[in-house]
Structure 1
Amino acid sequence: MNALIRPQSPHPTDAGTLTSASHLLELARGRTTDDRRRLLLGIAALCDATPPGAEASPLLGDIFMIIARQAESDIRKALSESLASAEWAPPALIAMLALDEIEIARPVIAASPLLKDQDLLRVLLEATIEHQIEVARRPHISGRVADAIIDRGDPATLTALAGNRTAQVSEDALARLIEHSSRIAALRAPLTRHPRLNDALATQLYQWVGQALREAIGERFRVDETKLAAAVDTVIRPPLAEPRGIGNDDAVVDREEMERRLVAKLQSSGQLRAGFLIRAVRERRLSLFEHAMTALGGFTLDQVRAAMVRPGPDALFLMCAAVGIDRAVFPALLEEVRAMNDGRPGVSQSGEPGPMSLAPTAAARAFRSLMGHVGG
């Protein structure tokens, strides 16, 4: 039943009864179908008597609050749908409906002009993730609400916010969304189309997106894709690791310090994961792989580097398993490590590590036992 879709006008002889305060309040507390029908006729008459832009009568607010507290969910949903755009509805009622079940709350969260920042912030704090997503989708939400959504860091809510082109998102807030896109792939496509994306932010976003989105960024900002890629590699990524023993000693020290800082920053923000190590190897950055392995596995740098030059790959296999690198990935990773490390680690007489899976904690324990004499 759509409770507030206006029914036919009441019979003229019933008008005084329908708008009687005591009678309407009595009907609001009633349970029968006839009570509800007569109540809705009376509410319709009161709504018709409320001029545009005027406040609702206190009587109407009292009746609505009783309905909201006592009625079944289908009545509350109809109430929410009918009042979603009303400027005269009781603000306390709208705030209550916004915290109701999601199907009831959705219309008012999406459209009610009576929901203020403090109401939306309360929804973000107290309601379900579905409610939070609706807040993030709400047209023209303020920067204060957008910042609160970003602070919470939920992937689904952030993605809804990234797709909300009318939200008041500051440049700093958009930069924070782009940082989140390094771990949340769903953010990347809507961010490339965001109306507040500028050249500087596009350069930051460029490093996380795939080829199709890179082309979209390059076309939108009229930036040469090759130059943009080079700029990102220079500004954001550490330089490619040189083979060991090559290059100026000071340059090697500077590069390794940069790598340590990058790894520390990723670890402190919770973004240092096994995938980063795989990427470092694929980009031929052996020293960065070693520093990341040291931090993620809790090993010493001496242990990690000793494992990289052993006669066989068992130690490398154990430390990769310890940080969660899948055994199916290991053969390709081993081949790439050998290609930039003078063929080391070598091939043991027993052959390459077998297909056996090993739990990370067990692998870490085995690695430390094997390498315990090095840098312990």
Structure 2
Amino acid sequence: MSVGPDLASAPAPLRIDAVSRAELARVRAEARLTATIADFFLDADARLDERTRLRLAHVLDGIVGAIEADIRRHAARLLANAGDPARGEAILKAGASVVARLTRAELLHDGDLMDELIARVRHDLIADALPVAITGPDESSLLVRLASVPDTVVASAANALLAAESRRRTANETDAIARSELPAELHHRLVWWIAAAIREGVPDGSAASDRAIADAALRSLSAHDEGDRPEAVAMRLAGAIDARPEELAALLVEAIGDRRLSLFVAVLAHSVGVEFDQARAITLEPEGDRLWLALRAADVDRPTIARIGLALSDADPRRDVEAFADALDAIAAVPVADAQAALGPLSLHRDFRAAIRALGRSDRR
């Protein structure tokens, strides 16, 4: 029995449209199957858990949406001021989802961008889940105390970190992500991708629309200050504190106990001479091998490593607390000089490390 219009007797444009849609549906089905198969065969430690996946989607949608809205609004304002409000209105309303368009183009598969966002999401989730261990019932949290010290450089940086982390926490808990808080290079890359996707959706494609979109994108770039990111502020605070060797263990433990994972990462990074993203990466690794090495390179003792390891195990279900307990004596026995030597490559400039990796890949071909 025939259901719906007879395709053979339909007008040619309708037949062409139906055939095109059917072909698109076939392509989508094949792509969906390929992705499902790839996901099924992923190792468990490579697969994002549902909580991380949902938070990552929220953060990515929020960042792209905030940049897109800024570009559309400012481009429309520029065109309206130039006496062309109709084109401005078209930019405000034109085109499908920018996130969907960038996803189809696989631009959001960018390794640097996703590495940063996944690390950021995991960092924030673990920070939220850390057990609270304030020194005493009448003791203020570490960051609040640092914000009140006589040293104005430390106090200013601590207040800035309080504000930055509050802003990040609010953005994570609501749909109010108002800025990307990405490193400058990644923000630059993302802004131009979004501008290109907006342009593609504008029906007239005029030179005036192109100029307005480009000028709006440049405005977004000029307004971005990567120094406001919690990660950058935490590094400034760690540098201002400049903990002495005998102060380091207590500071790391208290930062963890205060659920200030960004400060823990920054203090560790400052103490062993690596960048924040490197210290964050080794802190988030569920195995913990490089973190224990970094702590030994900073001459952190066994009890301190144990407290840090247990706190992180409480907050991150991927960690094997029994394996950590079994390895603790061996970790504590690593000589500081050996740990520092092993950690040496991480202290190299990121571009130098990338060049070394690129040469290594070429040798394996």
TM superposition score normalised by structure 1: 0.32
Greater relative contact order: 1 or 2 (C-alpha under 8 angstroms, separation 6 or more)? Answer: 2
Structure (1 or 2) with the larger CA radius of gyration: 1
Greater helix proportion: 2
TM superposition score normalised by structure 2: 0.33
